Amino acid sequence: MGTMKHLENYKLVFLGDQSVGKTSIITCFMYGNFDTNYQATIGIDFLSKTIRHEDSTIRLQLWDTAGQERFKSLIPSYIRDSSVAIIVYDVANKESFFNTSKWIEDVRAERGNHVIIVLVGNKTDLVNKRQVSIDEGDNKAREFGALFIETSAKVGFNIKPLFFQISLHLLPLD
Ligand code: GDP
Ligand code: MG
């Protein structure tokens, strides 16, 4: 047998209210920068990033929501086939945190337990405006059987660890 390994593709979908930082997290991870003028969603369906870890290689397909926040009927087709759902809220916006319950329920309804859900509290750099504590985020993630991490796309905090944690859950255990 040859040593070529099958390259697995995984679909990661980003969900959450508008302006919580979904596009910024993707941009920070892909390009390592933060463009404060960049408001629009990425104009393509998805971006791919190959992750190597020891002998294994996987390809992550990052699917940004292109305004589907306002067209919830599109969400089921978007979530279908996803391996990972990244549900983002803004730690300085309590309502965006409350709304993550709906997003998580949508994902469970469509994918059951065949999906890794990651709850992400973004914008931790807004220290004086924080409305959601780490404990609240952590408790909610536990309640829904999700992973949890806080990030700041603005300063690049925890962006690589977010995707590294996801990769560890996707990599074959051997
Ligand atoms: P999306 O609608 O969820 O894709 O959110 P965007 O990525 O477009 O970000 C919405 C706004 O929040 C933009 O003005 C971003 O510059 C800003 N933003 C995104 N992430 C952060 C962050 O970590 N910290 C701060 N302070 N602002 C952020
Ligand atoms: Mg966006």
DSSP code per residue over 98-163: HTHHHHHHHHHHHHTTSSEEEEEEE-TT-GGG--S-HHHHHHHHHHTT-EEEE-BTTTTBTHHHHH
Return the top range by mean pLDDT from 104-118, 119-133, 160-174: 119-133
Q: How far is CA 51 from CA 54, 127, 149, 169, in A?
A: 10, 32, 20, 13
What spacing in Å lies between the alpha carbon of 151 and ligand 1's midpoint? 11
The region of weakest confidence among 9-13, 47-51, 83-87, 132-136 is 47-51
What spacing in Å lies between the alpha carbon of 20 and ligand 1's midpoint? 6
Instruction: Tell me which residues have their CB closer than 6 angstroms to ligand 1.
Output: 18-24, 36, 39, 122-123, 125-126, 152-154
Backbone φ and ψ for 44, nearest 5 degrees, come out as -130, 170
Averaged pLDDT, 153-160 = 96
ipTM above 0.95, yes or no: yes
Which ligand sits closest to the CA of 86?
Answer: 1
Cα torsion angle, 94, 92, 29, 148, sign:
negative
pLDDT digits (tens, 9 = 90+) for 51-83: 888 888 899 999 987 666 666 666 777 888 999
Atom 17 of ligand 1, nearest CA residue: 21
Which ligand sits closest to the CA of 123?
Answer: 1
Q: DSSP state, 83?
A: S
Q: Which residue has the higher pLDDT, 13 or 70?
A: 13
